[in-house]
Amino acid sequence: MRRPPLRAWACTAAAAACVSVLTTSPAQASVIWDADASQGVGVFVTTLCDSPGSVTTGDWNDGHGPFFKFNKPVGTPRCEAHSVRTGGGEYSFKDNSTYWFGWDSMTKTGNAQTVFQWKSNGTNDQNSQNYPVLMKVEDDQLKAWYVAPGETWISIGTTPWTAGEWHSIQLGITTDAGGGGTLSVYKDGTQFASRTGARTWDDLGNKPRWGTYFGTDTSTASINWVAGLAMGTARADVD
């Protein structure tokens, strides 16, 4: 069961207009995936976390509820969880569809690097983008990127990030292989990033990935706690 959100946020008319291209009517909205950490890591299809790193669950009994702990120690490049498992097995993401993801995140430091990827399927020579959407915690900021074909990184928004505190995140993606996709990202109830005219569906499709990833850097330890994960068709499903 999805835990209560951090806060109840009022949506202004301007904010509603900004995301109108990403939302469906209330009658059509639905929660596709409730990945409360009390269900364990089986809500993901797989984890990518080399030993001695680990993905575990916990609950500090402080009222916030259960969480996933992505622990990347020195000597490893990443600790992540990949894709969505529902009651029917691995969820099949599709082109020309709208997905909203919602979760709370707290990092140990202001440098957890990549905390979310809309990861392309297949190997690098089988896709054109590798990761059309990325979010990083870097230099005490949450940064959102659209990565176009040709490894063209386009910053779509940056907002302050406080390590050691929970932050709520909602990400909306409308998939489009032809370059007509849209992106919208909220942190703590406020939209800080958006993009239209984006190619958000790669050659073999895409799947979500959460955790902490440093690329080729294995010299830095990082922890990212994630709670309240959910996926739906409208922001209201995951807020």
Query: For position 124, what pLDDT does the model report?
Result: 86
Residue 1 maps to a domain = no
Residue 10 maps to a domain = no
End-to-end C-alpha distance for the chain, whole angstroms: 14
Query: For position 224, what pLDDT does the model report?
Result: 99
Which pLDDT tens digit goes with each residue over 79-110? Answer: 999 999 999 899 999 999 999 999 999 999 99
Residue 78 maps to a domain = yes
For 184-209, what is the HEC assignment? EEEECCEEEEEEEEECCCCCCCEEEE
- Report angle CA 236, 102, 42 to the nearest 5 degrees: 125
Residue 75 maps to a domain = yes
Backbone φ, ψ for residue 22 (5° rounding): -105, -10
CATH of the domain at 81: 2.60.120.200
Is the confidence at residue 49, as pLDDT, over 80?
yes
Give the separation between CA 34 and CA 231, rounded to whole angstroms.
7
Give the separation between CA 170 and CA 238, rounded to whole angstroms.
7
Query: For position 29, what pLDDT does the model report?
Result: 62
Residue 15 maps to a domain = no
Residue 101 maps to a domain = yes
Task: Specify the number of domains making up the chain.
Answer: 1
Residue 209: give the domain boundaries.
36-90+97-238
Amino acid, res. 89: G
> Rounded to 10 degrees, what is the CA torsion of 12, 18, 21, 22?
-70
Is the confidence at residue 16, as pLDDT, over 90?
no
Neighbours of 203 (CB within 10 A): 14
- Region 137-146: what's the mean pLDDT? 99
Its pTM stands at 0.88
* Residue 154 structure tokens: 């386009």
Whether the CB-CB separation of 204 and 120 falls below 8 Å is answered with yes
Query: Pairing state of beta strands 222-232 and 67-72?
Result: antiparallel
Which pLDDT tens digit goes with each residue over 160-170? Answer: 999 999 999 99
Query: For position 15, what pLDDT does the model report?
Result: 39
Query: For position 6, what pLDDT does the model report?
Result: 52
- Report angle CA 234, 43, 228 to the nearest 5 degrees: 50
> Rounded to 10 degrees, what is the CA torsion of 86, 92, 97, 102?
30
User: What totals of helices (H) and strands (E) does the chain contain, helices first?
Assistant: 2, 16
Helix (H, G, I), strand (E, B) or coil at 137: strand
- Residue 23's pLDDT band (boundaries 50, 70, 90)? very low
Backbone φ, ψ for residue 191 (5° rounding): -70, 130
Query: 98 - beta bridge partners?
Result: 174
Is the confidence at residue 27, as pLDDT, over 70?
no
Query: For position 132, what pLDDT does the model report?
Result: 98
Amino acid, res. 33: W
Residue 131 maps to a domain = yes
Residue 190 maps to a domain = yes
Q: How much is the mean pLDDT over the chain?
A: 91
Query: For position 22, what pLDDT does the model report?
Result: 47
